[in-house]
């Protein structure tokens, strides 16, 4: 019998036949699909004919269709509905898959064919999109080291494997430090803490086998503790332990690991012909050069620091009123900022929640997409992997566009956070394929299900990613939808969050679950103002981390990363009461793997663009200006990675983004 994952799917819109698939099907399907993919790759590499775009690049695009099917089903359920069996499969699959893909990118015969095409690219009469796919394919091989020979090749393999194991050690040390430390609290120490913190502290105590409640170093517990505990001595003790993660000496100390990682990255970049690791890393990004990143971050840094310094004075005076003398310290900031927030714009979550019903917020996200892009959504009754999942058919002018799936509720089998993925990405080659896109969130269930304001933003955010997939209109899957530079991919999602804040959207869809009344104006204003609170602090702690990350990789690797960190912070005039959001010994974004190394800036880069892009609508005549909407779809949402991100943005906006809209949005300069 054919494995149901590899069979032809005869379901509506060829959605995976989840009901027919059992966990035992995954391992054999994966092995079979990898074998098939390897055979396809070998055939392309061994083709005796002269390389052509069709027999090499297009053949590579078409290869691995079975593997795509297996992975789309597996990653969907492994992330959103896991179980011990699926967890075990994931542990087995992940090294197999990385070996599989690195085998392809280091296949010399294959690389020679691609390199031959690249050398003759001017004579191949390629379309703009084909030229782009050839460039990306070639660049991918070169960056993976396929052009290296002999000793250099061997050294590259050594570096990669050493970096992988250092990244794992870094993560494990950090987890160990976070797991091992906790601070016992007496009943008296709990005074002043709100119920949810007390409950979390008790639950953490039970989990650690402690006598009573405890504070741990988990962000979700220590941050509210620092925010609410009136006990300055306890805040200091907890903060110091939190800041020392990965730098406690002994076996779990990450400082030497960080130094070795930076050294190896530099060597790797130089082997590949780059001046330094940041040049290598940023080559594929919209920012392109370290100087452009630094320039942008510094434009944000100055006003953020000015705001933070002014806020520090206010908080210091509040602290003095409490009878505490001396400077405001890092363990004081959150506590006094919370007091100030409560005094200045207290927003009662309990009062707000009934206005944010999940179903109405889904409707709101659809209604905006209808007004902007003419999309229509019709519920679709298809079996999926969990009864909580819902599906819609998305059409425009009566024509099928995509299937959209929403899996909104938290459950034990789902990993935390929220994400969007394409179970099938849009493409026209080798055959027309319409996207199937899923948004996964972790909202609390209820009848009706009610959201916090952050939840509602998350819903719009993920739906923005979904639009990027659903409106994609390119030929090749490798550049479709969200297959764009990392510092560009959050533009559509963060941009879409702005429509939630459009007063007429909230007025229509934020209606009270019982009375049906729209949200009162006062509450609406409070919601919008609360979003800007304490942005001096938040911007400073983030930008400081991003600048240290950049300094580590832009130039020779520092022999002592901690000294380098101190030097960068001193140069910036880092406010004394604000710590880096992630200091070096626990900066997992940068050291656990390569993902965000010299790339931590990208969150802010995207935010600069989304603020600037939404300003384009406001300047043009409002949030639903039809010409702007068309320009957004034509130049950004439909184009995937078919052109350089900078060119796409220029085509949409007519100029590159400036930081003013972001600074206004964060309340760091006057609107």
Q: Which residues bind Zn ion (CB under 5 A)?
A: 493
> Crossing angle of helices 561-572/255-271, nearest 10°?
90
Identity of the residue, 493 or 535, whose beta carbon is nearer to Zn ion in the bound complex: 493
Q: How many residues does the chain have?
A: 671
Identity of the residue, 420 or 616, whose beta carbon is nearer to Zn ion in the bound complex: 420
CA geometry: angle 463, 481, 401, nearest 5 deg: 70
CA geometry: angle 81, 600, 605, nearest 5 deg: 100
As measured in angstroms, the least distance from the Cβ of 497 to Zn ion is 10
Q: What does the alpha-carbon distance between residue 293 and residue 296 come to, in Å, rounded to a whole number?
A: 5
Identity of the residue, 265 or 414, whose beta carbon is nearer to Zn ion in the bound complex: 414
Closest C-alpha to 574, from 547, 555, 552, 596:
547
The string over 395-426, giving b where at least 16 C-beta atoms fall within 10 Å of a residue's C-beta and e elsewhere, is eeeeeebbbbbbbbbeeeebeeebebbbbbbb
Q: What does the alpha-carbon distance between residue 401 and residue 392 come to, in Å, rounded to a whole number?
A: 11
**659 near 299, Cβ under 8 Å?**
yes
As measured in angstroms, the least distance from the Cβ of 515 to Zn ion is 34
The residue assigned the tokens 């007429």 is: 504
> Crossing angle of helices 358-373/491-500, nearest 10°?
110
Identity of the residue, 247 or 459, whose beta carbon is nearer to Zn ion in the bound complex: 459
Residues tagged active-site:
462
Identity of the residue, 254 or 365, whose beta carbon is nearer to Zn ion in the bound complex: 365
As measured in angstroms, the least distance from the Cβ of 75 to Zn ion is 17
- Beta-bridge partner residues of 421: 438
Q: What does the alpha-carbon distance between residue 42 and residue 64 come to, in Å, rounded to a whole number?
A: 12
Closest C-alpha to 604, from 292, 261, 311:
292
Q: Three-state DSSP class for 402?
A: strand
Chain centre to alpha carbon of residue 470: 19
As measured in angstroms, the least distance from the Cβ of 607 to Zn ion is 11
Q: What does the alpha-carbon distance between residue 250 and residue 254 come to, in Å, rounded to a whole number?
A: 9
As measured in angstroms, the least distance from the Cβ of 490 to Zn ion is 5
As measured in angstroms, the least distance from the Cβ of 585 to Zn ion is 27
As measured in angstroms, the least distance from the Cβ of 533 to Zn ion is 22
The residue assigned the tokens 């079996």 is: 383
Number of Cβ within 10 Å of residue 334's Cβ equals 22
Identity of the residue, 494 or 597, whose beta carbon is nearer to Zn ion in the bound complex: 494
Identity of the residue, 561 or 599, whose beta carbon is nearer to Zn ion in the bound complex: 599
Q: Which helix (H) or strand (E) holds 405?
A: strand 399-409
Q: Which residue is nearest to Zn ion (CB)?
A: 493
Identity of the residue, 76 or 216, whose beta carbon is nearer to Zn ion in the bound complex: 76
- 138: tokens are 């070639």
* CA distance readout (Å), 391 to 362, 402, 458: 12, 10, 19
As measured in angstroms, the least distance from the Cβ of 457 to Zn ion is 11
Identity of the residue, 217 or 648, whose beta carbon is nearer to Zn ion in the bound complex: 648
Using the Cα atoms of residue 579, residue 581, residue 584 and residue 586 in order, give the sign of their dihedral.
positive
Q: What does the alpha-carbon distance between residue 254 and residue 245 come to, in Å, rounded to a whole number?
A: 9
Closest C-alpha to 551, from 288, 300, 277, 299:
277
The residue assigned the tokens 């993976």 is: 144
As measured in angstroms, the least distance from the Cβ of 613 to Zn ion is 15
């Amino acid at each position: 019998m054919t494995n149901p994952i590899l069979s032809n799917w005869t379901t509506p819109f060829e959605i995976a036949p989840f009901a027919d698939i059992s966990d035992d099907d995954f391992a054999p399907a994966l092995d079979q699909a990898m074998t098939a993919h390897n055979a396809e790759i070998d055939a392309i590499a061994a083709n005796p004919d002269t390389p052509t775009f069709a027999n090499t690049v297009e053949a590579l695009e078409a290869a691995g269709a079975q593997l795509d099917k297996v992975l789309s089903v597996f990653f969907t359920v492994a992330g959103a509905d896991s179980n011990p069996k699926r967890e075990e499969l994931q542990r087995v699959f992940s090294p197999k898959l990385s070996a599989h893909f690195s085998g392809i990118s280091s296949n010399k015969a294959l690389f020679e064919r691609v390199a031959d095409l690249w050398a003759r690219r001017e004579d191949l009469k390629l379309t703009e999109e084909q030229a782009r796919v050839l460039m990306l394919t070639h660049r991918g091989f070169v960056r993976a080291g396929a052009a290296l020979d002999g000793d250099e090749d061997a050294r590259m393999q050594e570096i990669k494997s050493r970096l992988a194991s250092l990244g794992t050690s870094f993560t494990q040390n950090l987890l160990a430090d976070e797991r091992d430390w906790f601070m016992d609290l007496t009943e008296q120490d709990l005074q002043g803490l709100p119920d949810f913190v007390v409950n979390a502290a008790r639950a953490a105590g039970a989990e650690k086998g402690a006598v009573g409640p405890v504070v741990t170093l988990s962000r979700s517990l220590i941050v509210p503790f620092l925010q609410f505990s009136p006990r300055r001595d306890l805040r200091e003790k907890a903060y110091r332990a939190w800041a020392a993660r990965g730098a406690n000496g002994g076996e779990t100390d990450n400082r030497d690991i960080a130094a070795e990682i930076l050294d190896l990255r530099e060597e790797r970049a130089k082997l590949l012909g780059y001046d330094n690791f940041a040049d290598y890393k940023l080559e594929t990004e919209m920012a392109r050069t370290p100087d452009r990143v630094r320039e942008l971050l510094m434009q944000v840094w100055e006003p953020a620091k000015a705001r933070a310094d002014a806020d520090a004075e206010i908080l210091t005076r509040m602290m003095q009123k409490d009878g505490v003398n001396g400077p405001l310290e890092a363990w004081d900031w959150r506590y006094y900022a919370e007091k100030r927030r409560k005094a200045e714009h207290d927003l009662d979550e309990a009062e707000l929640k009934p206005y944010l019903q999940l179903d109405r917020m889904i409707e709101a996200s659809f209604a905006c997409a209808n007004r902007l892009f003419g999309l229509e959504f019709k519920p679709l009754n298809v079996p999926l992997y969990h009864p909580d999942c819902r599906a819609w058919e998305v059409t425009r002018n009566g024509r099928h566009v995509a299937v959209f799936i929403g899996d909104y509720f938290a459950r034990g089998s789902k990993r935390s956070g929220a994400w969007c993925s394409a179970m099938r990405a849009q493409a026209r080659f080798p055959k027309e394929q319409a996207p199937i896109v899923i948004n996964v969130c972790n909202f609390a269930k209820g009848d009706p299900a009610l959201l916090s304001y952050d939840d509602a933003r998350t819903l719009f955010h993920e739906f923005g990613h979904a639009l990027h997939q659903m409106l994609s209109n390119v030929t090749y899957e490798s550049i479709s939808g969200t297959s764009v530079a990392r510092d560009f991919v959050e533009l559509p999602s963060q941009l879409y969050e702005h429509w939630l804040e459009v007063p007429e959207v909230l007025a229509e869809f934020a209606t009270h679950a019982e009375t049906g009344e729209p949200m009162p104006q006062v509450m609406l204003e409070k919601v919008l103002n609360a979003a800007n609170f304490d942005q001096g602090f938040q911007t400073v702690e983030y930008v400081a981390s991003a600048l240290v990350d950049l300094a580590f990789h832009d130039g020779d690797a520092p022999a002592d990363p901690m000294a380098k960190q101190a030097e960068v912070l001193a140069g910036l005039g880092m406010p004394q009461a604000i710590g880096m959001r992630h200091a070096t010994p626990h900066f997992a974004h940068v050291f656990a793997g390569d993902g965000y190394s010299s790339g931590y800036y990208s969150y802010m880069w995207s935010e600069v663009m989304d603020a600037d892009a939404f300003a384009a609508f406001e300047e043009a005549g409002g949030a639903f200006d039809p010409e702007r909407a068309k320009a957004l779809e034509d130049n950004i949402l439909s184009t995937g990675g078919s052109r350089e991100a900078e060119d796409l943005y220029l085509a949409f906006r007519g100029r590159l983004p400036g930081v003013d809209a972001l600074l206004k949005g964060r309340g760091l300069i006057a609107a």
